[in-house]
Structure 1
Amino acid sequence: MSEILLEVKNLSMHYDTLEGNVEAVKNVSFNVNSGESFGLVGESGCGKTSVAMTLLQLQPENSIITEGSIKLDGKELIGLSENDLRKVRWDSISIVFQGAMNAWNPVIKIGEQIREAMREHYPQNSKQENINKINELFRMVGLDESISERFPHELSGGMKQRAVIALALSCDPKIIIADEPTTALDVVIQDQILNEIKKVQDLLGLSLIYISHDIAVIAEMTDKIAVMYAGSIVEMGPTKNVFTYPKHSYTRALLDSTPSIKGEKKKLRSLDGEPPSLIDKIDGCSFAPRCPDREISCNPTEHMTLIEIDTDHYVDICSQGKMQK
């Protein structure tokens, strides 16, 4: 049985804004095991990236963690000093951001930027040792060694994103967060980047947290997923189980809104209404106003709790009375 590498318990975080507190992450709990691929999926604004930034303790200054725990290898990250956090970032957990261009200083060569990160974490290494490591990483992600001597603007979008993956791997992390890493890339390059990420994960035995709004990509990339809506996890479990036997109305709506070239033709499903404002405090089921399966017996103000309805398959208690068989 795989060991738990990352343990998140009852994590809640809000942003302090002029309009009020934006409840971006609400009572989120999940584990990521060693070597496992874990997906966070949901529409834009549901809190996926806020969770990722909180895991790295890189959230904006106006954010406040009100509750919860984040343990990496059994070590609590919330409350660590900035010096201790710098040791954890890259060494233990790193991230591939969605905007590859934003990850690079435009006036410094790619190789030098990666060496700078390595010097910070491996001061004992010689320059040549770092160069050799970078060349090895470039080969691993399908780049030529000459990329080291080029500036970011000289690379295509796909090349920049591959270089970002090499940067994320440069300090031998145990877990990588990939936050929409194929945004703005054409579909052919997207597929290549996804294959590179999976290849590297398998080769190095890494754990992966993959964040996306794209159900098809999540299905391809992950072993286990959590479906998020309005800052909360509404369903979680093995990817195959959740996609084959979705229990929450929102999960079913996501799946029904995804086109497929297989099977009979059918009209794609859409949901009425809009996601709730996260500034307004929501007591109970945040999905109730849009829920197509809402029943008279539903109590939308009831406190939501994830319950286990099958082995490692969890769904919020609101769906308990109307699960599809």
Structure 2
Amino acid sequence: VIVDIEHPLLYAIYLYEKVLHKRYNFKTIPPYINKFTRTRHLRKVDVVHLNSLNIRLAREAKELGKPVVAVLHAAPFPKEVYDNINDYVDVYVVPSNFTKYSEEAKIGSKKIVVIHHGVDMKLFNPNIPREEARRKLGIPYNVKVILWNDRISPEKDLECFIKAMEHVLREMKEAYVYIKGRAVVKNYYDKVKEPLKKLKETTKVKIHIGWIPHSKVPLLYRAADVFVRTSKHENFGLGAIEAMACGTPVVAPNATTFPEIIGDATTLYRPGDPLDLAEKTITLLTDRNLYDSVKKYQLTRVQKCFNIQHIAQMYLELYSSLIK
């Protein structure tokens, strides 16, 4: 199997190089190599896997008779993009049924397979003691931690979270808000700077802007009592299943992929409604029986549906079906 890395998602690199390599040999192709070198690589492989809609690589693979799998990580795409690459792709893979329904009319008759993203249960699990995670992150022990961890960009709707947390902090003395974000859209970050500054005036808010090592991300989820996603658009939502795998209940909008991921609607709030988000969060944190029930349900769901070993097996079966 040959994998293009023009769009080198961390998840894809992990899945293909750390899991699937046990049964397949993987070769990654950087986008800057010349056509002669690309062709030499392509002649030696059985399947070409695209993490981006790399028309050039898809066309060259098809000219050599190689089956092509294209994963739509960054959908939606305009219909014209699919029109240009459809002839060279055998199968499109999408990470959710939501993405499939949004793209299938534009793709046409091409085969679309849903393979969810997966989570490494050896890295993301409930085994790290909460007290240890909080000590390492400098978070107090005797508080209820509400975590937001995402890119700071318009579609992630950090403004909704900020407004909701203003209400939560007024209503719950033990509430503590931890925001970890990556400022990827400067204009939007400039827009939320002032609300963030105002929210941080209380000692019950901690804000970390920037990257942290991937190995430390489980500490964030284990330190939190609740993880909140506020995305307006999401093809999957990897952070949600990472939190669920760590035994941290997830509150998310009742839209896009979240009903598909989370399953039960108990912790789904009305999209764009800060008050409903606040009320769902407060109810979860103040009702111990409900909290334990949601935690158990979500943890069981992620272990059953999103374990990366299971996801890897689905890719193996897809590759095998394409190799003649």
TM-score tier by shorter-chain length is under 0.3
TM-score by length of 2: 0.28
More helix by share: 2
**Structure with the larger RCO, 1 or 2 (CA within 8 Å, 6+ apart):** 1
Instruction: Give the TM-score normalised by structure 1.
Output: 0.27
